[in-house]
Structure 1
Amino acid sequence: MSRTLSGAAAIVGIGATEFSKESGRSELQLSVEATQAALADCGLTPADVDGLTTFTMDNSAEIALARELGMGELRFFSRINYGGGAACATVQQAAMAVATGVADVVVAYRGFNERSGQRFGQVQNWAAAQVNTNGLDNAWTYPLGLSTPAATVAMQARRYLHEYGATSEDFGRVAVADRRHAATNPQAFFHERPITLADHQASRMIADPLHLLDCCQESDGAVALVVTSAERAKDLPHPPAYVVAAAQGSGRDQFVMTSYYRDDIGIPEIGVVGRELWRQSGLGPEDIATAVLYDHFTPYVLMQLEELGFCGRGEAKDFIADGAIEIGGRLPVNTHGGQLGEAYIHGMNGIAEGVRQVRGTSVNQVRDADHVLVTAGTGVPTSGLVLGR
């Protein structure tokens, strides 16, 4: 029997709070606001929702969100591990629940005060003290000072530069493209604040070879997405963004941000996701009009382009050299400004931008965006989506 998820479900509603450095509200309040906005966007109500998905790292319980919004009975709830790697998997879980009849309307949400509250970019002692295997893994590196996301990525970034002859300026071109797109996005924290390559190179060093402008923001805010069946989606206000493919992936000998002991210390987990997305959808890189690539750190955007098949191994520096990832290029990337330019909401704002591209409502709209690729956090077990009209 042939089984497929492709086209069975769609994202029909998107909602977000403003993106700031000091929200002044609880994380639960942020998630409530984003969910209200997403439901209003698609003309549904809290009473229609019978499923919720989020991250294991989210501090707002599904039942708390349901109570605050008056959702009533829930038939499905699910949480995904591995930080930013969970983003697209929340939609995958929602789509699978809808496609199998487990739930009718599922909201995927993520809300946090990641700047005014717990700042991810700083050393987090709890990460090495967790009573689980992630804590055990972190305990090998934290006492030696390898204890921030930038520090762990710097190891892989330096190896990438050594292996392929890339330079810090190649990383900088990603930041410049993101900020150029953010500059025309009124919702972006860095609206009207583009940067130049010289700005990137002059920014202070965080963890060699990563400059400040290689690193994503720390943001306060929330994003919510409403998923329902393809059939129901036809009767709702906006053109549906169909879930053409959805996948998760983990590489061999995978660790959380410190997979240094395998032959390839890059990000092969996104290669697993990419191959599965192409298999499910019957598409390939040549069919993608625009991509939202998880940009917690600029080197990982180059590595993703290679793992996903847009160019060969070590060729991303040449692929992006002529403006290919900017509006008007052959693969515009992060047209909302990405997590470097719009906000860092653990990748959920990137999924919302994918929906806008499919709808044709992005502030940096790409022509003929029939299929949009969206990825989640890399360096950890991750996930991805192909959204389509």
Structure 2
Amino acid sequence: MSTNRTLRGKAAVVGIGSTPYRKRGDSDKSALTLILEAILAACSDAGVDPRQIDGFVSYANDRSEGPVVGTTLGVNEIRWSTMVWGGGGGGVAAAVNAAATAVAAGQADCVVVYRGITEADDGRGSYGKGHFPPLLSAHGIVAPAQVCAMRTQRLLEIDGVPPSAMKALVMASYQHAQNNPAAVAYGKPLDSETYESSRWVAEPLHLFDCSRENDAASALLIVSAERARDFASVPAYVLAGVQGAGRGWGESIENEDNYTSAGFHPAMVSRLWNSAEVKAGDVDVVQVYENFSGPAVASLIDFGLCPAGSAAGEFMTLPNLLADGGKLPINTAGGNIAEGFVHGIGMAVEAVRQVRGSSPNQVKGAEVSLLLGGPVAPFVSATMFGSAATL
């Protein structure tokens, strides 16, 4: 009996597709239509007949269920359909992991991971629906920004992380967006003064520390590693994936054991590094989910990619975070904040582009690409992608 129970090198992304990001409420298409367009784009990218898709995975309470998507596409057979439960973008990497697991275990041959939203179908603030129990709402806390602001304030005051770390992350996202014509912030550069003088959303989060929903969809096509070279695109192999929540972490209970963590507990982090057979210093590029900048910094700290406390400010500088020679390039298409926000699915696409060498801000020689999903959510996840050279 095989004792190799990891995902390392057993599945690969062979197709990616996205629709244009539109301002929230501006799309004249349904979320399902956008999802179908993204899936067809991913199939075209891979050179796959859409009817060959036999598995469907989404997350964050996507209203377009797998059987509906499959039937509308006219697929030959639906062998796998699942939804990752958990708040907001915490499931983005877990959805990729679920698809990789399905093909590695022979439950499906060609699985699509997708996410799409429109204001017309999902309403405003779809990322926060159902996640504000009376403990929070009775005290006037009814928006994700407020929850993340409290934790970020603790990160700054008690842990000693300087606000400059958050600012550098935001500035890097905006600078990268200037080279990405698909980004909502393309042609809208952000300078230091504008960032500093922008209004508070929930102190200590400024306007530019916060992502804003868009109408759009993206999709990733995943097959077994054995088949990966049979497709038209350069494959990005899944090296490892983790997801879940540790003891003392839950659904907005506000008394977590480690209140300023992003939710990536030490055992989870160790599993990712060990399964991927890489170390933090081997990571070439990171897409870190920034619904808000503070929790994104906490994610990097959880994984040991950024030092804790005051040293975070010394590491988190704009030059260090840029694709052009930075020590840890992050959010190289603009991230949720500056490229577009559809619960982080676009960041999964960008993680794959970096392995392919097709990013709008390509990190030279990138072989190992890390996706971190949904900090501070009750359920978080991460996926490590690698090139063929990493296998």
Task: Calculate the TM-score normalised by the size of structure 2.
Answer: 0.93
Residue 377 in 1 paired to residue 374 in 2? yes
Equivalence for 1:318: 314
Aligned sequence identity (%): 35
The residue identity in structure 1 corresponding to 2:51 is A
Can you list the C-alpha shifts for 1:176-206, whole angstroms capped at 9, x where unaligned? 1100001110110111212012111111101
**CA distance, structure 2, for counterparts of residue 312 and residue 2 of structure 1:** 35
Equivalence for 2:236: 241
Flag the 1:224–1:2 CA change in 2: closer, same or farther, 3 A: same
Deviation at 1:66, TM superposition (A): 1.1
Equivalence for 1:303: 298
Indicate which of 324, 344, 349 corresponds to 2:346: 349
Equivalence for 2:66: 62
**CA distance, structure 2, for counterparts of residue 362 and residue 74 of structure 1:** 32
Task: Calculate the TM-score normalised by the size of structure 1.
Answer: 0.93
Query: Which 4+ stretches in 1 moved above 4 angstroms?
Result: 114-117
Indicate which of 45, 70, 75 corresponds to 1:71: 75
Asked if 1 retains the 8 angstrom alpha-carbon contact of 2:52 and 2:76, the reply is no
Asked if 2 retains the 8 angstrom alpha-carbon contact of 1:180 and 1:195, the reply is yes
SS of corresponding position for 2:165: helix
Can you list the C-alpha shifts for 1:35-67, whole angstroms capped at 9, x where unaligned? 110111100012111110011510112121112
Asked if 2 retains the 8 angstrom alpha-carbon contact of 1:305 and 1:316, the reply is no
Which ranges in structure 2 are unaligned for 5 or more consecutive residues? none
Q: How many residues align?
A: 378
Deviation at 1:115, TM superposition (A): 8.1
Residue 361 in 1 paired to residue 363 in 2? no
Asked if 2 retains the 8 angstrom alpha-carbon contact of 1:121 and 1:148, the reply is no
**CA distance, structure 1, for counterparts of residue 268 and residue 21 of structure 2:** 29
The residue identity in structure 2 corresponding to 1:168 is P
The residue identity in structure 1 corresponding to 2:385 is L
Equivalence for 2:118: 113
Which ranges in structure 1 are unaligned for 5 or more consecutive residues? 128-133
Equivalence for 1:260: 254
Deviation at 1:69, TM superposition (A): 1.0
**CA distance, structure 2, for counterparts of residue 312 and residue 208 of structure 1:** 23
The residue identity in structure 2 corresponding to 1:222 is A
Can you list the C-alpha shifts for 1:87-124, whole angstroms capped at 9, x where unaligned? 011111111110011100000110101488512189x7
Deviation at 1:276, TM superposition (A): 1.7
Can you list the C-alpha shifts for 1:271-291, whole angstroms capped at 9, x where unaligned? 444322101011011101111
The residue identity in structure 1 corresponding to 2:9 is G
**CA distance, structure 1, for counterparts of residue 296 and residue 262 of structure 2:** 13
**CA distance, structure 2, for counterparts of residue 276 and residue 185 of structure 1:** 34
**CA distance, structure 2, for counterparts of residue 116 and residue 180 of structure 1:** 32
**CA distance, structure 1, for counterparts of residue 38 and residue 236 of structure 2:** 18
The residue identity in structure 1 corresponding to 2:177 is A
